[in-house]
Structure 1
């Protein structure tokens, strides 16, 4: 019981002291255009603020770091209430609608000079960020290191991913 009280006191002390954020670990588990870009923007933003940034791609998020799929991601139209707020839900399931929505999203991103996924990954690595793939997901989808973009530092286990998050001032962001 004393241990719990001490831990609670330590947590309260950390909150009160507002320890500065030193690094982020961004976990990307979904492979949709909007989810992958959210993860890339979070990591890049941390780097631009002088923070350490590491990225861990797992399950369908692996699509973002495979050579074959990285620059061919799509916007989720079915089951995405924010996207479908002005259209009937069934429109999202029509043949070709996802491709159209993805094309339109990419056009808007081009207007804002947002780089393609592979270029964004290059920028993150060049800025000192580290990019990792999940071993379990890679094994499950039969993905090898040579299938991944060159910026991927390694394929690691979840335990190794937790090791990346050790230390003070760490924020884990799950996208």
Structure 2
């Protein structure tokens, strides 16, 4: 875990875990990409969060947290169902469903797939959601709201998609406080100029 209390290193090696040897030539810290003029430019990363399932909420949030820990300018753009991550009425109630997840298996038994048909049974989505939340809690991974609080406190920027905002019939009062603005696709293209863009 990092010494910085604001930016925990989720998924990092435990204190008692053996350190892996770095391959020859590996660099400890990612460096800024050189500009056309030869000068190093500060790194910028933009994550597009497009899905509203509990399991799909975390990739963008954890990578954004890691980027901030490395001093990278970080933005998250919430669009379509990803807007549920920053909508007050849904952000604390995200679900994990087995339906449509062809890789679904028990974590302890990776070679034993779970039939997707089970996901259609009453109560299964609630059960798998509860199981995932307990697993995340055991690993000391914060809730989606807490992760967003950490990202905002660490200097990350959150943006909502105007089209998704209008499609969902939302108002500014419906949004998580950390969302800086609701912007158009054109605004997003300008915002992401020169950034690494990661779509989740």
**TM-score between both structures, scaled by the size of structure 1:** 0.85
| Within-5 A mapping of 1:7-156 | 22-84=43-105, 86-156=113-183
1:76, distance to aligned residue in structure 2 (A): 2.4
Shift, 1:81, TM fit: 1.1
Distance 2:129 2:48 in 1: 23
Unaligned runs of 5+ in 2: 1-33, 106-111
The structure with the largest helix share of the pair is 1
Give the Cα separation in 2 of the matches to 1:21 and 1:109. 33
Per-residue CA deviations over 1:140-166 (Å, capped at 9, x if unaligned) read 110111100101011000111111111
Matches of 1:158 and 1:79, distance apart in 2: 28
Q: Which has the higher contact order (CA 8 A, sep 6+)?
A: 1
Match of residue 173 from structure 1: 198
User: Number of residue pairs matched?
Assistant: 158
Secondary structure of the residue aligned to 1:27 is strand
Secondary structure of 2:113 counterpart: coil
Cα contact 1:21–1:171 (8 A) shared by 2:
no
Shift of 1:20: 7.4
Q: CA deviation at 1:21?
A: 7.2
RMSD over aligned Cα atoms: 1.8
TM-score (norm 2): 0.75
Runs of 4+ with deviation above 6 angstroms: none
Q: Which residue of structure 1 lines up, in the alignment, with residue 186 of structure 2? A: 159
